[in-house]
A and B are shown apart, each in its own frame.
Chain A
Amino acid sequence: ETGVTQTPRHLVMGMTNKKSLKCEQHLGHNAMYWYKQSAKKPLELMFVYSLEERVENNSVPSRFSPECPNSSHLFLHLHTLQPEDSALYLCASSQGFQGTNEKLFFGSGTQLSVL
């Protein structure tokens, strides 16, 4: 079992659909992250949760709504997305949130296609 598990691996949705991405970490970490990876662009940080509280929200459109019910689970709720939202969405976790040596552990991502 990998440390960070994301489901589904692939998702195709229409612009009017509502769907959710799920992330679960089995590492006992206290911080969890959502990153967006689009073609030919650096990974973009979307949201950070530390001890289940959101500490970072990088001006992400409201059609993306995160939820962190406990330190092991992180969701990204999707609503009325646009085709430009098609990307690989990566979840990550780390032991803590502060510290320059905090390693992030990533899941395999959800490849999202918006039609």
Chain B
Amino acid sequence: AQKITQTQPGMFVQEKEAVTLDCTYDTSDQSYGLFWYKQPSSGEMIFLIYQGSYDEQNATEGRYSLNFQKARKSANLVISASQLGDSAMYFCAMREASGNTPLVFGKGTRLSVIA
């Protein structure tokens, strides 16, 4: 079974608008971490934001915020005031406390920001 599911292969958003990228996850661990990465056409994976499973407040980093709904096992990324430079692939990832498993990634969502 997939650990990380990103159901939107592609998304379009108008410049200066907000956009939500969906991510659901599957784990039986109580302790885990959720990450979002951005991959522009250059190829490098850039860390955006982190949410711990025990964090009570949603994580925020500048224009990025994570809408964490633990009961639904959902960790959606919200990008406010989209910019043309936000056009990229976005990956949701999870790290579980059990075992030695490093980050497991979803298939990604391609975001295109339109002027």
Binding site for B on A (CB under 8 A): 2, 33, 40-43, 45, 48, 55-56, 88, 90, 92, 94, 97-109, 111
Tell me which of B91, B95, B104, B106 contacts A102 (CB under 8 A): B95
Q: Which residue of B lies closest to A88 (CB)?
A: B43
For the complex, is B45 an interface residue (Cβ under 8 Å from A)? yes
Contact of B31 among A56, A94, A100, A109 (CB under 8 A): A100
Interface string of B38-62 (1 = CB under 8 A from A): 0000111111001011000000000
Asked if B90 is at the interface of the complex by the 8 Å CB criterion, the answer is no
Question: Which A residues lie within 8 Å of B107 (CB)?
Answer: 40-42
Q: Which residues of B are found within 8 Å of A48, using beta-carbon distances?
A: 100, 102
Q: Which residues of B contact A55 (CB under 8 A)?
A: 100
| Interface residues of B, Cβ cutoff 8 Å to A | 4, 31-33, 35, 37, 42-47, 50, 52-53, 91, 95-97, 100, 102-108
> In the complex the two chains form, is B100's CB within 8 Å of A97's CB?
yes
Chain A interface secondary structure, helix, strand, loop or mixed?
loop
Cα distance A103–B95 when bound, in Å?
10
Partner of B91, one of A40, A43, A92, A109: A43
Q: How far is the CB of A72 from chain B (nearest CB, A)?
A: 18
B residues near A107, Cβ cutoff 8 Å: 44
Q: A48-B102, A55-B100, A92-B45 are in contact. Are A101 and B33 (CB under 8 A)?
A: yes
